[in-house]
Each structure stands twice: as C-alpha cells, then as structure tokens.
Amino acid sequence: MSAKPDYTFKQSLGLQDNPIVTGLWQVADLERGGTELDRDHAATALLDYSNAGFHCFDMADHYGSAELIAGAAKAKLLNDNSDSETPLKLYTKWCPQPDQCQPEDVRRGIAERMERLGVECIDLLQLHWWTFEHPGYIDVMDSLMQLKQEGWIKHIGTTNFDTDHLQVLISCGFEVDSNQVCLSVLDRRALGNMTDLCLQHDIGLLAYGTLAGGFLTDQWLNQLEPNNITDWSKMKYHRFINATGGWASYQRVMQTLMSIAEKHAVSIANVAARWVIQQAAVAGVIVGARLTHTVHHDSNQQLLSLTLDADDMQRIEDASSNLTTIAGDCGSEYRKPPYLTASGDLSDHLESLPCAYSREAVPGRENRWRIATGSDYESICGFSRAIRDGNRIMVSGTTATHGLDRPIGISNPGAQTTYILDKIAASLAALGASLDDVIRTRIYLTDCNHWETVSRVHGRYFHNCLPANTLLEVSSLVGPYTVEIEAEAIVPDTSACF
C-alpha cells in the first residue's frame, strides 16, 4: 500500500481507526415519493451502524430527511447517556445556487444545517459549487472561513471540485481539509493530478461511488444488463458503466474482483471498497446505506482487516485500465454534458444557472452589445469587459481579479489562469457564446518560465476548439498579476437570438 499522509483531521473526523463513512444520499431516494422515513426507526437503523463501529455519516442539504434522522440519532444517544459527547461524526454539504454567495446567505445555509443536525458545530461542512463561471465560490469560502472561526464548523471540505479549482482555493489560502469525489475501479479520474495536489497540500479525498451504487457487488456478477433500473444511485452509475465501455467491459472487471475476493474469502464489495481505501490520497471511503431497508455493516467490517497485496492491486489496475476513461476531471459529471447524474441532467438540482455578467446594448450601434464589470474606470476610459459585434466577440485582456480589486492566485500562475479562463467563459456566456467558439487567445506572462503551467490549464479549457494562440512575455502587467489573457470568438449562428 502507498504511504499515506498523516492527515491531522482524521482523528477529529473519526476516520483514524475506521475510514468508512456511511452515506445517506439513499435516504432521498427512499423518500422520493414524498413520505419521509419514520424518523425514530431510521435513527435506530443509523445507530446500528454506529454500534457496529461506523460512527461517521455523510449527508447533504438535499438528501431528504437524512440530516434530521442523524440529528434524531444524536439526540437519542444524548438522552441515553449523561455525556455531552457522542461518537457520531456528522458530515454534511451545502450546495447553494451560485447567486447565494453573500455572507448572510451562507450564514443562513449553514445555520439550517446545524439546526437540522441538532449540533452547535458541524464536524465537516462540504461545499458543492455548480459552475465555476460564477465566481461566488470565493465569497462563500470567505464566509465559511469566518464561520469556522466563530466555531460553527470544525472542518471545511469541498465536494466535486476539480483539480484546477481546488488549486484556486489553495492559492487563496482557504483551509480545505477534504474533497469528496467519485472514485472507484470504474472511475479513476481522482488518481492523477487530483491525488498529486491533495498529497502536496494534505487534503484528504473522501471517495464516493466506490460500489457504483451496488453494481460492484456479488449481486451483479454475471448478470444481464438491466433495463428497468429505478433506484437513483444505480441509474447514475449505470451511466458510468456505459461511459467506461459498457456492460461487457464492466463484467470483465467484475471477474477480476471476484477472483481476488475468492482469494481473500471476502465479497466483491469488500475488494472494490478496499481498493479505494488503499489509494494514496484517500482519507475515507463513503459507502451508501439504504437505512431501514438493507444492512451491510457486518460485511463492511471485513474491510477493516482486509489488505490487498501488490499483486491484487496490479490485477485491478490492469483490469480497469482497459476501460474508457471518464471524460474530464473530478466533478465534470455535474458541470458538462454528458451529465452522469441519476436523471442524466441537472434537473433534479437546478432550474437554470445565473450568468456572472449581464450584457447591455451599446447605444447607437446596431448589433453591438457589451458587458462591463462595474469598475468606474470603464466609463472614464471607455473600456468594456467584452464586446459582441454581430457574430464576433472580443474579450478584453483579463486578469485574475475577483470583484473590483481582489487578486486571486497571485503566487500561482496556474490558479490565475483558471480564474481568468472562467471569467472569459462567463463573458462569452453573457454574450451568447462559449469557450468552444473561441478562435484566438493571446496570453501575456511576466515570466516566460510559467508558459507550460499556464498552457496546460489553457489546454484543459480549449482542447475541443484549439484556438490560434500567441504567448508573450512582458516586463510587467498592471497590478500584482503574472498572467493576463484576451480572447476572440466567432459565434457560428449569426441569427441566434440571445
């Protein structure tokens, strides 16, 4: 097994002796008809997991009544014991709409989590952010840091942040302890750059999807592909199976898992989850539970004594490296088509995504629109953030400035580039275009030694449309920046009304 960092937060998050977290998204599925689970019955089922040694539970604001069930379980324990401490560690998530980023929005969102969980301090609060074209996540992180200082949150984590944006948070000095991402023998996106970044900065991965919603279990070995799946988790991971090469490829991986399971006299689920636990940056593995319906804590206990040897790991590596790699980085499945969600889109989560900028017609000019950032200088100097004239869009030289004057990622050219390209994408979106319409970029660097770091980020944004590019070294840029980028796009459909 690779040496793991000695994550200091593991002790206070209850992961030191048992890295398995019980996941409660399944509660939302069980309640999707509109009837909540019987609170007392479900709290007892949750405490059964705790009594079996699984004290950590993962929830979110949208997991049905999961937070309330966990709160009821905690209250039960407190009633039964005079101690004010319980072994329960309750992790939750806040997944705000992108325009809910003011301090009062964050305070309200977190206060609601605390009230539902019945806690005065949340063990782990994980932020999910729907679109990085909206920069409100920086403001939300500011507020979360403030709430941590005030004692409302013990640890801040993220969920579904990709490597580039986790790097942005790190470069801003935010204290992020964990990133919750999909990781399984079917989906190994988190094992590349994400793992390297996490190891470098002592961030632990909390892995979900480890059993692909139950598909990576004995129950599905040698089975025919189902055509009537109704549970959300399997609907979601069936898309992953299709995206990685289909049912036959998945069944070939299952054969390998089965043969390793037989060698150790454990289950396929145990092998699949153990493989994840043994990955270098993984601090915890989330295994979903359908509370009050099925119980797997006895089986999951076997994970604690199982170790996969180098040969097992290599065989799994070989089997899964034959699969098609899931496109993009961690969390792409929530941000770009094809959405690998239960519904195949974001309709369960969002009605629409707000634009970070709004456009205005340029007075006296037909077919010309502009967007502005709101800086006083724009009207004094006659600048625009971007201009669309007919089907042509020019985006001004863009630096990593948050709001009107806050530099982002100053000591990190890669983070600046990420932030800049999100601003360019948001500018294009406000003018009816996307990054895929860009035909030219021009990058200014104050130190040409950064060309590769910056260009690699550029490549992750533009790998589809491959714009013409110029890379220039300049003696300095206005402000503390080391990177500035401008872009030009052509919108193919000139008649498009936007």
Ligand X SMILES: NC(=O)c1ccc[n+]([C@@H]2O[C@H](COP(=O)([O-])OP(=O)(O)OC[C@H]3O[C@@H](n4cnc5c(N)ncnc54)[C@H](OP(=O)(O)O)[C@@H]3O)[C@@H](O)[C@H]2O)c1
Closest CA to 87 of 52, 116, 113: 52
C-beta neighbour count of 346 within 10 angstroms = 17
Contacts of 290 (CB under 8 A, 6+ apart): 26, 29, 30
Helix, strand or coil for residue 254?
helix
How far is 199 from 184, CA to CA, in rounded Å? 19
- Please spell the DSSP secondary structure of 377-388, one letter per residue: HHHHHT--SEEE
Residue 314 as a binder of ligand X (CB under 6 A): the answer is no
| Segment contacting ligand X by CB under 6 A, of 104-112, 117-125, 133-141, 283-291 | 283-291
When binding is defined by CB under 6 A, the residue of 148, 155, 290, 385 that contacts ligand X is: 290
Nearer to ligand X, 55 or 296 (CB): 296
How far is 498 from 133, CA to CA, in rounded Å? 18
Nearer to ligand X, 296 or 388 (CB): 296
Residue 64 as a binder of ligand X (CB under 6 A): the answer is no
Residue 332 as a binder of ligand X (CB under 6 A): the answer is no
CB of 41 to ligand X, least distance (A): 16
When binding is defined by CB under 6 A, the residue of 45, 138, 168, 286 that contacts ligand X is: 286
When binding is defined by CB under 6 A, the residue of 86, 92, 160, 398 that contacts ligand X is: 160
Q: Site map for ligand X, 205-234, x if CB under 6 A?
A: ---xxxxxxx--x---------------x-
Residue 319 as a binder of ligand X (CB under 6 A): the answer is no
What are the backbone angles phi and psi of residue 420, rounded to the nearest 5°?
Answer: -65, -45
CB of 372 to ligand X, least distance (A): 35
Residue 269 as a binder of ligand X (CB under 6 A): the answer is yes
Residue 26 as a binder of ligand X (CB under 6 A): the answer is yes
Q: Any bridge partners for residue 204, and if so which?
A: 178
Residue 159 as a binder of ligand X (CB under 6 A): the answer is yes
HSE-up of residue 146 (Cα within 13 Å, Cβ side) = 12
C-beta neighbour count of 112 within 10 angstroms = 13
Nearer to ligand X, 129 or 481 (CB): 129
Contacts of 331 (CB under 8 A, 6+ apart): 159, 160, 161, 162, 181
When binding is defined by CB under 6 A, the residue of 23, 204, 284, 413 that contacts ligand X is: 23
Nearer to ligand X, 18 or 434 (CB): 18
- How many amino acids of this chain bind ligand X (CB under 6 A)? 27
Could you list the beta-strand ranges (E) of 160-314: 178-182, 204-208, 282-288
Contacts of 379 (CB under 8 A, 6+ apart): none
How far is 122 from 2, CA to CA, in rounded Å? 31
Nearer to ligand X, 169 or 287 (CB): 287
| Segment contacting ligand X by CB under 6 A, of 4-12, 132-140, 296-304, 410-418 | 296-304
Q: Which residues are at the interface with ligand X (CB under 6 A)?
A: 23-26, 58, 159-160, 180, 208-214, 217, 233, 267, 269, 286-288, 290, 294, 296, 299-300
